[in-house]
Amino acid sequence: MICVRSDCNWAPNLISNLARYTIDAVLEPNETMDIGPALPAPTKLVSFLFLPYVKVNVDGKDASVMLCLGITADELTFIREHDIQDLVSRLKETGNYPYTDLSRKSVMNR
């Protein structure tokens, strides 16, 4: 899933393409994926960070819904060197979690 603050066309289109991709690939929690070219300009977001959001049961099998959270290049660097929850905490403190907001500034510069 992806959370946005207002109606837009890019988010459902991106999730639709991602859904097709997951037919052949497994997305794991806390992985990242380059998405910069798939986002409308202007944006400083470069990657999705896949975060576990809720566990569900589908036809007797455990599954989970993951949040696709857009992050900036310096946030991506930060999670490679630190705990992902440190970034999530910063995003929550600034009111940016769980949203992928194309116009937001990095939370690393505060």
pLDDT in tens, 51-103: 999 999 999 999 889 999 999 999 999 999 999 999 999 999 999 999 999 99
Backbone angles phi, psi at 108, to 5 degrees: -80, -15
**Amino acid identity, residue 104?**
R
DSSP class of residue 99?
B
* Strands 61-72, 45-58: pairing kind: antiparallel
Q: pTM of the entire structure? A: 0.91
Backbone angles phi, psi at 23, to 5 degrees: -65, -35
DSSP class of residue 7?
-
Is residue 3 within 8 Å of 99, Cβ to Cβ?
A: yes
